Every structure is written in C-alpha cells, then in structure tokens.
Structure 1
C-alpha cells in the first residue's frame, strides 16, 4: 500500500469516527428526530453538542426566561441525557410553580399520540399539552427583564 493510499484511508477512517459527533442541523431537528417537540429550547440556542453516549449540551447566548404554561429559566448551558422521547437528568432548567423555582429533572413524551408531555420537577410530575412546545419560545435575557421590571436585580438567584 502506498503512502498516499494509506493517508487517504486514515483520513476516511477518521471522518467515519468523527462524523457522528459533529453538530449537524438545528437543535429543533435533533429534538424532532428523537420524538420530542421542536420548541423545548428557545430561539437563542447558539450551539449544541451530542456525544456518543447521548449526553446533550445546549449552549445559549446567556441565561434567560421564557414562558410555556409557566415561566421557565434557562441557564446559559443546559445538559441532559437524550434518548428517544426524553431528556433525562436535566441540568440548567428551572420552572416556576406557586412562586417557587424548581429544577426540571426530566422531560418525557411517552406517547406522542396522547398530545401530552411530562415535566418531572422532583416533587411532582406535570403533564402539559405538546402544542405548547411546537415553536421555540422567545427567551428574554435577565438584563431585558430587569429593565422591563424597572429594577436592576430580580432577586431570581435567591429564589432558585
């Protein structure tokens, strides 16, 4: 085997192993390919990484708040184990429930035909309509929210 042929072979082999771990398409495409609605993450997703074990890391422009049924808070990096129909072991996502901010542990779609999605917030499981998650929500940075509220600090960190 010539040196050129060997070099081409090694490059192809390297491409074969690296291609599955590169980010291809949008986060919305990835979610839909895994049986999840496209609008689970906001529009300001900068990038995402998915490794061979299914560990998903989503990078946003910065921390922000959005609203599905209740307000949700996204940290600048959200991590979870992605499997078909679920984001398990979520880190970096909290939901407001009765004036408390509770971390979202899991998001699961057991049966897409039911039209329901399950949010596990630790102390309770909340079923919501899948229609709430068809489109990525607008996520407002905390700076914008502070200006709208007329205060510099929302005290959000203390509530989390």
Structure 2
C-alpha cells in the first residue's frame, strides 16, 4: 500500500513538472521531440543529435547541438550549434540558427507554422517567401551530419544523380 502511495505521488509530481509552463526544462535529445509534439509540431523539425534544450515560461526555446550540422528534408538545411525560437502551440516564431537552401542560396528560416494539422502542411517563412511542405517530411527526427558532411555522404552513397 505504501509503495502504491509513493508511486502515485511521484507520478503526480512528474506530471506537474512536465505540464507546468513556469519551469525551465533541460533535457536529453529525445525529450525535445516530445515537447515539439506536445505543442502541435512534428518531432522531425529538429535533428536526432540535439544534446539538450531549455524552455522557459515565456516560450523561449533554446536548442543545443554538439556542433553545426546539415541534413536534408526536401532541400538541405543547416543547423547552427544553438537554435532559438519562441515556441507556442503550432509554431516556432523568430527562429535563429536555422537556414534552408533554395536555388543554391542559403536563406534563414524565420518562422515555422502548422496552422491546421489536418491539412498535412507546414509553413516555412524563409524571409523572401513562404514555403509550404508536407508534414510527413518531418515525422521522424533526421540524422544531422557535420557541416559539409551531407554532400560527401550523398556522393559516396548514391553518386551524382542524388545531387539533382
């Protein structure tokens, strides 16, 4: 009986810690993906290699990686060592530390918004334009390669056809 009471108390406290917006959270990489899901965003917006993050009561999210890295969704994406944004339900606003390649030009991603999850679309504000992509591209956290590593990896694995 005492064990059940202790378990119930610990479970309640852990739920309180997860739900309370007034706490600053720091967590291993898998938890950032859970946080994104709980805020109506796909887990794959951030790479698997996230080392830790902080999330404060005012919505300020800071994500820390071991080193800058690149991955690919529809186009190549570059993550700086620290990525920051204001996280609210369905959006990352004022993103810093994230760039997307468009027609051989690197553009900063400013905002990421899921207005209607049932539409299956996610909106990226890349400064000069808005780009809508399928949410399915971001279901799973991608692996992120050190800067320049993605291009070399693609050539070795698939040849020059993969670069088209």
Per the TM superposition, whether the score is higher than 0.5 is yes
Q: Runs of 4 or more off by more than 6 Å in structure 1?
A: 16-19
> What is the RMSD of the two structures over their aligned residues, measured on CA atoms?
2.4
SS at match of 2:74: coil
Which residue number in structure 1 is paired with residue 73 of structure 2? Answer: 68
Structure 2 unaligned spans of 5+? 1-16, 156-164
1:77 and 1:67 map into 2 onto residues whose CA distance is 18
Q: Which has more radius of gyration? A: 1
Shift of 1:147: 6.2
Which residue number in structure 2 is paired with residue 23 of structure 1? Answer: 26
In 2 relative to 1, CA 34–59 (structure 1 residues): closer, same or farther, beyond 3 Å?
A: same
Q: Deviations over 1:43-94 (max 9, x none)?
A: 1000000111100000011100000100000000000000000000000000
2:51 and 2:31 map into 1 onto residues whose CA distance is 10
SS at match of 1:127: strand
Shift of 1:110: 0.1
Structure 1 unaligned spans of 5+? 1-15, 151-160
2:21 and 2:92 map into 1 onto residues whose CA distance is 24
In 2 relative to 1, CA 38–111 (structure 1 residues): closer, same or farther, beyond 3 Å?
A: same
8 A Cα contact 2:120 2:135, kept in partner:
yes
2:26 and 2:112 map into 1 onto residues whose CA distance is 22
SS at match of 2:23: helix
Q: How many residues align?
A: 135
Q: Deviations over 1:26-58 (max 9, x none)?
A: 101000000000100001000000111100000
